Structure 1
């Protein structure tokens, strides 16, 4: 069976958001519940300001980012004037990474999502790795 590639396109922002939402729903329930307060935002690229602050050489260097006050530090920071916690996924860098690796797009999105939510929760890299294994 051949595949008709003539109409194939990369997922746009809306399709990418659906993919990220589906990846989120597949995460372990306890992990998902702790992350419900964070907003999931899909952008094509990180802003120039973010790239500058994180000293990224290119806008393709960042696949995702957590901004806000993580749960581990929430009590130490007054809620007045606090911006919402946001998990950013950057569509174009993720698609670029996908094109260069043998992982599925869904697996990459889930990995970045788990990693950034892990920052929100204040988890260690070992904890994040374990959640990724549980979600697989």
Structure 2
């Protein structure tokens, strides 16, 4: 399970655009990792953002949503954290089910914990926690 999890984590950065992976550790019953979302979140092919606001000529001073893109236009969106985590969990689950000859076996809890890292100091503290977490496993509440 750990090998598959590690392989899928490493592949994540290459198959999902607009992310950079940082520290990561596989614990016996959970994983820790830092995922950095980079670049524009959503862009139309013409370079505009689908959720941009524009001033309306009809009602001066009032801000309204820009018109939606024509049906022939596609909107490219960078993955959200939810997309990345869901894709990662899904690929690990599919591989583990294939290896064990099962179908529909669940390996992950339903949700995940997220924390926005806002500055370099917070990043260093969280990265250190991830790196040192395995040393603390025998004192973990869920240690088996």
Shared fold per TM-score greater than 0.5? no
| Structure with greater proportional strand content | 2
| Structure with greater proportional helix content | 1
Taking structure 2 as the reference length, what is the TM-score of the superposition?
Answer: 0.25
Taking structure 1 as the reference length, what is the TM-score of the superposition?
Answer: 0.26
